[in-house]
Amino acid sequence: MDPPADEFPAVQPGGSLLLAWQVRNRRVLVVGGGNVAAGRILNLLNADALITVVTPAAGLVPEVAHRISQNLITHIDRNFLPTDLEDPAIAMVLTAVDDPLASSTIYTLCKQKRIPVNVADVPPECDFYFGSVHRDGPLQIMVSTNGNGPKLANIVRRQIAATLPANLGEAVVKVGALRKRLRGIAPAPAEGPKRMDWMTRVCEGWSLEELCDMNEEDMEALLKGYGDGVVISYKELRGEQDAIAEGFDGSFGWV
Catalytic residue numbers, as ranges: 121
Which ranges in the chain belong to alpha helices (H)? Answer: 35-46, 62-69, 100-113, 150-162, 168-185, 192-205, 208-213, 216-224, 234-245
How far apart are alpha carbons 212 and 169 in whole angstroms?
8
Question: Does residue 95 interact with ligand PQ2 by CB under 6 A?
Answer: no
Neighbouring residues of 20: CB distance < 8 A, sequence distance ≥ 6: 140
83 binds ligand PQ2 (CB under 6 A): no
Count residues binding ligand PQ2 (CB under 6 A): 21
Contact between 16 and 123 under an 8 Å Cβ cutoff? The reply is no
Which residue from 34, 59, 116, 150 is in contact with ligand PQ2, where contact means CB under 6 A? 150
Residue among 68 and 178 whose Cβ is closer to ligand NAD: 68
> Which of ligand NAD, ligand PQ2, none does residue 73 bind (CB under 5 to 8 Å by kind)?
none
Query: How far apart, in whole angstroms, are the C-alpha atoms of residue 185 and residue 195?
Result: 10
Task: Tell the smallest beta-carbon distance from residue 78 to ligand NAD (Å).
Answer: 8
How much is the CA Rg of the chain, to the nearest whole Å?
25
The interface partner of residue 137, options being ligand NAD, ligand PQ2, none and the CB cut-off 5 to 8 Å by kind, is none
157 contacts ligand PQ2 (rule: CB under 6 A): yes
Among 92, 132, 174, 237, binds ligand PQ2 (CB under 6 A): 132
Query: Which of 76, 203 has the CB closer to ligand NAD?
Result: 76
**Cβ 95 to ligand NAD, closest distance in Å?**
8
DSSP per residue, 92-115: EEEE--S-HHHHHHHHHHHHHHT-
131 binds ligand PQ2 (CB under 6 A): yes
Alpha-carbon distances, residue 8 vs 3, 55, 133 (angstroms): 9, 50, 30
- Binder of ligand PQ2 out of 83, 148, 163, 251 (CB under 6 A): 148
Q: Which residues bind ligand NAD (CB under 6 A)?
A: 31-37, 54-56, 59, 79-80, 96-99, 102, 120-121
Evaluate whether 169 touches 137 at the Cβ level (below 8 Å). yes
Cβ proximity to ligand NAD, 121 vs 197, nearer residue: 121
Q: Nearest Cα to 106, choosing from 57, 144, 55, 146?
A: 55
Span interacting with ligand PQ2, options 58-66, 145-153, 170-178, 205-213, rule CB under 6 A = 145-153
Give the orientation angle of helix 62-69 with respect to helix 35-46, to 10 degrees.
40
Which of 140, 145, 167, 241 lies at the binding interface for ligand PQ2 (CB under 6 A)? 145
By the criterion CB under 6 A, which residues form the site for ligand PQ2? 39, 118, 120-121, 123, 126, 129-132, 144-151, 153-154, 157
